[in-house]
Amino acid sequence: MLTIKGFFLAGLVSFILTPFVRRLCLKMDWMDVPKDARRVHKKPIPRIGGIAIYLAFLLAMLVYCPLNRESIGLLVGASVIVLSGFIDDTKGLTPRGKLIFQALAALCLVWGGSSIEFFTNPTPGHELVYLGYLGIPLTIFWVAGITNSINLIDGLDGLASGVTMISAISLLFIAQRYQQTQVVVVAAILAGACLGFLFFNFNPASIFMGDTGALLLGFVLSYISIEGVMKSVAAIAIFLPVIILGVPIFDTTFAMLRRAISGRGIMSADKGHLHHRLLNKGLSQRETVAVLYLISILFGILANIVSRLPAKDAMTVCVIIIVLVFLLASLFGMFSSKGTQE
C-alpha cells in the first residue's frame, strides 16, 4: 500500500509543481538555447524542471519512507547531486567538479550503509567475496557511472524520464522479490515523480529537466540497484541492474569505446548516441523515444525472468544477452565515429 501511495503522491506533486517551476525558469531566464548540432529542439526551452522532480521525490520520501540512516544518506546525497546539477545548469560546472559532487553524494550513501559490500562468486558454491574498504571506491564508481549515463541519454523529449520510470519499476519487482521493502517504496516514488513530470516533458516538451533532474534520476537509480539488487546473495546480482539499465549503460559504454577507438577523449561530446542514430534513420523524436522505451521494457522483462532461473542458467543467459547486445551494436555502427562529429 505504501508503494502505491508513494507512487501517486510523488506523481501528483511533480505534476502540480512542474508548471510553477516552468514559470520560474522563464522569469529567471533559465533556458536551454539550441546552440549546437547535438540539440534537436529549435527554440529556447525552460531547462531546470528537475527541481519539480526533486521536491516531489523529497516530499513523498518524508511522508512514506522511514527516516533512518539509510534514507537520510539517500536524501542528503540526492540534495548534493541536485545542487551540482543546478550549478551546472545556471553557471556551468567542469567535469571534474561534477565528479567531486558525485563522489560526495556516493559517500553519503556509504555513510547510510548503502554500499557495494560484497559480490557472489558465480562459480559452484557461490561463496560471498567481501570487499571491505574496496567497496567504497567501487560504490563511488557505480554511482558516478549510473548518474552520468542517465544524463548522457537526456537528449530527446521524455527519454531520460521515461527510461528511468521503466527501469525503476523493473528494479522494484526484483527488490520486492528480495524483500527489500524500503527500496521498493523508493523505486515507486521515483517512478511516480518521473511520470508526473513526463506529462510536460514528452514531445513536444514544454520544459526540460536539465542536469538538475537527470543527475538526480541516475543517482537514485544507483541507490536502488545497490540496495535492492546487489546486496542480495544471488550469483547474478551484479548482472541484473546492468541489464535493467541497459539503455543508458550500454549507450554510455559504446560512446566511450567509440571515442577511444577514434582517438578522442572519452568524455567528449558527439552525435553518435543511439537516439542520434535512430533519428538519422528517419525516425521522429516520438518514434525514437518509443523504440528506446520498448528496449528498456524488454531489458526489464528479461532481467526479471533471469532472476528466477537457476544460477548456472541465469549466468549463461546474462552472458548471451551482453554478447548479443555488443554484436547488434557493432552491426548498427555504434563503434564507428563516422558522421558523429558536431
Domain ranges of the chain: 2-237
3-state secondary structure of 312: helix
CA dist 151 → 80, 148, 156, 248 (Å):
16, 5, 11, 9
C-alpha cell at 292: 528506446
Supply the pLDDT for residue 341.
60
Supply the pLDDT for residue 26.
95
Supply the pLDDT for residue 209.
97
CA–CA dist 288, 280 (Å, integer): 10
CA–CA dist 229, 241 (Å, integer): 7
pLDDT along the chain (342 residues), means of 10: 91 98 95 72 88 98 95 98 97 94 98 87 66 91 96 92 97 91 96 98 94 97 90 70 93 87 73 85 92 96 90 85 90 73 56
CA atoms within 13 A on the CB side of 189: 26
Supply the pLDDT for residue 332.
81
Pairing of strands 45-46, 31-32: antiparallel
Supply the pLDDT for residue 125.
58
Q: Are 48 and 89 in contact (CB under 8 A)?
A: yes
Q: Is 151 annotated as a binding residue?
A: yes
Supply the pLDDT for residue 294.
97
Q: Is 270 annotated as a binding residue?
A: no
Supply the pLDDT for residue 176.
92
CA–CA dist 209, 327 (Å, integer): 33
Supply the pLDDT for residue 272.
78
- CA nearest to 24, candidates 51, 60, 4: 51
Supply the pLDDT for residue 123.
61
Supply the pLDDT for residue 199.
96
Q: Are 98 and 85 in contact (CB under 8 A)?
A: no
Buried b (16+ CB within 10 A) or exposed e, 118-129: bbbebeeeeeee
Supply the pLDDT for residue 237.
76
Supply the pLDDT for residue 52.
98
CA–CA dist 190, 260 (Å, integer): 34
Supply the pLDDT for residue 86.
97
Supply the pLDDT for residue 289.
96
Q: Give the chain's length.
A: 342
User: Is there a cis peptide before residue 204, judged by omega within 30 degrees of 0?
Assistant: yes
Q: Alpha-carbon torsion 90, 91, 93, 94, what sign?
A: positive
- CA nearest to 189, candidates 73, 68, 62, 300: 62
